[in-house]
Amino acid sequence: MERKRVVITGVGAVTPIGSGKDKFWDALMEGKSGIDLVSRFDTSKFKTRICAEIRGFDPKDYGINPKDAKRMDLFTQYGVAAASLAIKDSGLKLGEYNDNIGTMIGTGIGGLMTLEEEKRKLIESQNPSRVSPFLIPMMMPNAVNAYVSIINKLTGTSPCTCNACATGAYSMIYACKDIALGDFDVIVAGGSEAIITEIAASSFANMKALSRRNDDPKKACRPFDKDRDGFVIGEGAGVLVLESLEYALSRGAQIYAELVGYATNTDAYHITAPDPEARLVKKAIRDAMAMAGVEPKEIDYINAHGTSTPLNDKAEAVAIRDVFGDYKVPVSSTKSMVGHLIGAAGAVEAVVCALALEKQMIPPSTNYETPDPEMDLNVITEPTPARLNVVMNNSFGFGGHNAVMVLKKYDG
């Protein structure tokens, strides 16, 4: 059976530095940082007091009914908003029912904000009747898929991926498989997250995963820099419209990129730490390139996972160095500006890759000031015009979940 080619025809991003593809891209080119002091709760007793919040978000701006919004956790609102942007951008004409279109929007954690709030109500009131009847549908991970399907009458497949920080990439890869096999013409895929909460901040800080650069938030996230000291929690959503090339051409759709290669695997090493030898990360990179039919020197840019943690950045650098050898492939991490969006990270970074191919520009890694002698990488620190034909997107998550995608400029 011949596999169908899969292309990206619409992108939507809701991020701490801007929402919508144009605002988001312009902010990346400016090196704008979305990282600042936490505003949602008192952090006076916290070891880490910084995060990358989305400020001024109004669900009505994205066509979300106010009544529905009250019954959505913030991660659902972000995901629905990003899907709305992506669908509009794609120019899809939707009917009363759309059996050929599915959704695949995952989350690393889900409705933690709602759970924390409702648990607080129960403890303070000692009255079970105070707990919202909407708690479960608000916190369930598949809520974004459900609402995007309901709002747009998308009646195709609707599985929910949950692979920690690799979730967004896994969603896209699984969607690509369903389209390539001819099961569906279109899948709206990505990831969403909103976990800037007391419980999440406490847990991540206590495992020593977060930056403690509280006195200089804008400089806190420093992927691959020698002085990196942890990641910064961010929030947001990235959603892309994937469809078969045949279907896209039949409706005259714009095409950002073709998804030509991918690979997933698992370290089977540790529940949070990466394998320092990066054996399975190297395999994922090589397998994705093999599927795409490209050699290392044909990769023009890597949007790295680049979290700014000591262990993760080092392991990813080991993998890039060993696979690419003497070829100093350009690398950047946009987490330096938006923070770590957890389950949304891979999808937002796929949006970055699609736009980079369209604009023929490499977005910068900010705060890279002191190269780490143990990581010999070609980190791009300024917006850089480049002839981009093939780009790579790396995503790795707690549990050792690895996902690598290869995107190619569509040449007609």
Local structure of residue 164 (DSSP, 8 states): G
- Supply the pLDDT for residue 210: 98
- Supply the pLDDT for residue 236: 98
Q: What CATH number corresponds to the domain at position 358?
A: 3.40.47.10
Residue 23 lies in a domain: yes
DSSP string covering 225-281: BTT---B-BB-EEEEEEEEEHHHHHHTT----EEEEEEEEEE--S-SSSPPTT-HHH
Instruction: Report whether pLDDT(1) > 80.
Output: no
Which range of residues forms the domain containing residue 38?
A: 6-250
pLDDT averaged over the chain? 98
Same domain, 198 and 320: no
- Supply the pLDDT for residue 2: 87
Q: Which of 216, 250, 284 is the last residue of a domain?
A: 250
> Is the pTM value of this prediction over 0.95?
yes
Residue 255 lies in a domain: no
Same domain, 11 and 107: yes
Same domain, 206 and 340: no
CA distances from 318 to 121, 261, 281, 376 (A): 47, 21, 9, 9
Same domain, 216 and 285: no
Same domain, 277 and 237: no
Instruction: Report whether pLDDT(65) > 80.
Output: yes
- Give a three-class secondary structure readout of 98-122: ECCEEEEEECCCCCHHHHHHHHHHH
- Pair 332, 156: CB distance under 8 Å: no
Same domain, 201 and 274: no
Instruction: Report whether pLDDT(101) > 90.
Output: yes
Instruction: Report whether pLDDT(51) > 90.
Output: yes
Residue 256 lies in a domain: no
Instruction: Report whether pLDDT(204) > 80.
Output: yes
Local structure of residue 154 (DSSP, 8 states): B
Interacting residues of 334 by C-beta distance below 8 A, sequence separation 6+: 28, 303, 348, 349, 352, 363, 365
Same domain, 223 and 90: yes
Local structure of residue 142 (DSSP, 8 states): T
User: Could you tell me the two tokens for 114?
Assistant: 């709602």
Same domain, 243 and 374: no
Instruction: Report whether pLDDT(188) > 90.
Output: yes
- Pair 174, 161: CB distance under 8 Å: yes
Residue 246 lies in a domain: yes
- Pair 143, 114: CB distance under 8 Å: no
Distance CA 26, CA 223 (A): 21
Query: Residues with catalytic annotation?
Result: 165, 305, 340
Local structure of residue 26 (DSSP, 8 states): H
Tallying the residues shown for the chain, one arrives at 412
Residue 30 lies in a domain: yes
DSSP string covering 58-87: -GGGGT--HHHHHTS-HHHHHHHHHHHHHH
Mean pLDDT for the stretch of residues 291-318: 98
User: Could you tell me the two tokens for 408?
Assistant: 């190619």
Q: Which of 250, 285, 308 is the last residue of a domain?
A: 250
- pLDDT band of residue 342 (cuts 50, 70, 90) is very high
Residue 37 lies in a domain: yes
Task: Say what percent of the chain tops pLDDT 90.
Answer: 99
- pLDDT band of residue 98 (cuts 50, 70, 90) is very high
Please name the amino acid found at residue 302.
I
Per-residue pLDDT tens over the stretch 122-137: 999 999 999 999 999 9
- Supply the pLDDT for residue 327: 98
Mean pLDDT for the stretch of residues 41-69: 97
For helices 345-359 and 167-180, angle between their N-to-C axes, nearest 10 degrees: 70
Local structure of residue 3 (DSSP, 8 states): P
Task: Say what percent of the chain tops pLDDT 70.
Answer: 100
Q: Domain tally for the chain?
A: 2
Interacting residues of 77 by C-beta distance below 8 A, sequence separation 6+: 57, 59, 64, 69, 194
Distance CA 59, CA 80 (A): 9
Same domain, 366 and 342: yes
Same domain, 271 and 227: no
Mean pLDDT for the stretch of residues 393-401: 98
Residue 140 lies in a domain: yes
Same domain, 236 and 348: no
Mean pLDDT for the stretch of residues 160-183: 98
Mean pLDDT for the stretch of residues 283-305: 98
Q: Which of 226, 250, 274 is the last residue of a domain?
A: 250
Residue 83 lies in a domain: yes
Distance CA 401, CA 8 (A): 24
Same domain, 337 and 232: no
Mean pLDDT for the stretch of residues 97-116: 98
User: Could you tell me the two tokens for 24?
Assistant: 């988001």
